[in-house]
Amino acid sequence: AQKVTQAQTEISVVEKEDVTLDCVYETRDTTYYLFWYKQPPSGELVFLIRRNSFDEQNEISGRYSWNFQKSTSSFNFTITASQVVDSAVYFCALSEETAGNQFYFGTGTSLTVIP
Amino acid sequence: DSGVTQTPKHLITATGQRVTLRCSPRSGDLSVYWYQQSLDQGLQFLIQYYNGEERAKGNILERFSAQQFPDLHSELNLSSLELGDSALYFCASSPRWPGELFFGEGSRLTVL
């Protein structure tokens, strides 16, 4: 079974629209970490955020915000007032304490921001 | 710059050949991971090393092998290459858990 599910394969939005990328995870561990990575067209993978399972506070960084809800096993990512430079593939990932340093990646969501 | 160095950046070879991809992790990181990303595909975990020892194995083919050396750099060896092996191969390093993964720029392999 998929440990991390990103149901949205592709999303297109018009510039300045808000967009939310969904991430649902599955784990039996009580201690785990969730991550988001960005892969722009240039190909590199860029770390965006890490959140541990004991911290359900939402996080905001500029136009980016993350909503972590343990009750629904979700860690969603919202981009406010999207820009063309936000066009990329975004990956959500899970790392469990019992699995040591293993990371489980979702299949990614390709976001296209149309000018 | 993530601090993870991968070489070569691009590689074109023929079917049946063997190639070696090299990765130098960030200074101080003991864990090295290898991932394969085929066209329009997600990240497929291949293998993980921690301080020279294999820690976890993913969907790595028998034709592929890897190792991590005492200086912590790692090599991924791909042999008897097939067209389907064409992909972007990423190396990532991480400090002790639960550190995030820092990815190299990837090695783009094209098998003709």
For A39-76, what is each residue's pLDDT tens digit?
Answer: 999 889 999 999 999 988 888 889 999 999 999 999 99
B33–chain A Cβ distance below 8 A for any pair: yes
Q: What is the pLDDT of residues B12-63, one digit of tens each?
A: 999 999 999 999 999 999 999 999 998 767 889 999 999 999 988 888 999 9
Determine contact: A34 vs chain B, CB below 8 A: no
In chain A, the residue whose alpha carbon lies closest to the alpha carbon of B97 is A101
Minimal-distance CA residue of chain B relative to A98 = B97
Q: What pLDDT is attached to residue A62?
A: 92
Does B45 contact A at CB distance below 8 Å? yes
Residue A1: predicted pLDDT? 64
Dihedral (CA of B93, B48, B96, B100) sign: positive
Residue B85, judged by CB atoms within 10 A of its CB (0-12, 13-18, 19+), counts as buried
Would you call B98 and A47 a contact, using CB atoms and an 8 Å cutoff?
Answer: no
List the strands of the sheet with B74-78, edge to edge. Answer: B5-7, B19-24, B74-78, B64-68
Nearest CA in chain A to B44: A105
H/E element, A114? strand A109-114
CB-count exposure of residue A78 (10 Å: 0-12, 13-18, 19+)? middle
Alpha-carbon distance B22 to B2, whole Å?
Answer: 16
CB contact under 8 A, A47 and B94: no
Contact between B98 and A91 using a beta-carbon 8 Å cutoff: no
Tell which phi-psi region holds residue A18, choosing left (phi > 0), alpha (psi between -120 and 50) or beta: beta
**Could you give the 3-state DSSP secondary structure of residue B29?**
coil
pLDDT at position A15, please?
Answer: 97
- Could you tell me how many helices (H) and strands (E) chain B has, helices first? 0, 11
By Cβ distance, the residue of A33, A100, A105 closest to B42 is A105
- The helix/strand/coil state of A85 is helix
pLDDT digits (tens, 9 = 90+) for A1-40: 679 999 999 999 999 999 999 999 999 999 999 999 999 9
DSSP conformation class of A84: G
Q: Does A45 contact B103 at a Cβ distance shorter than 8 Å?
A: yes
Mind listing the pLDDT tens digit for each residue in B51-106?
Answer: 999 988 888 999 999 999 999 999 999 999 999 999 999 999 998 777 789 999 99
How far apart CA A67 and CA B42 sit, in angstroms, is: 23
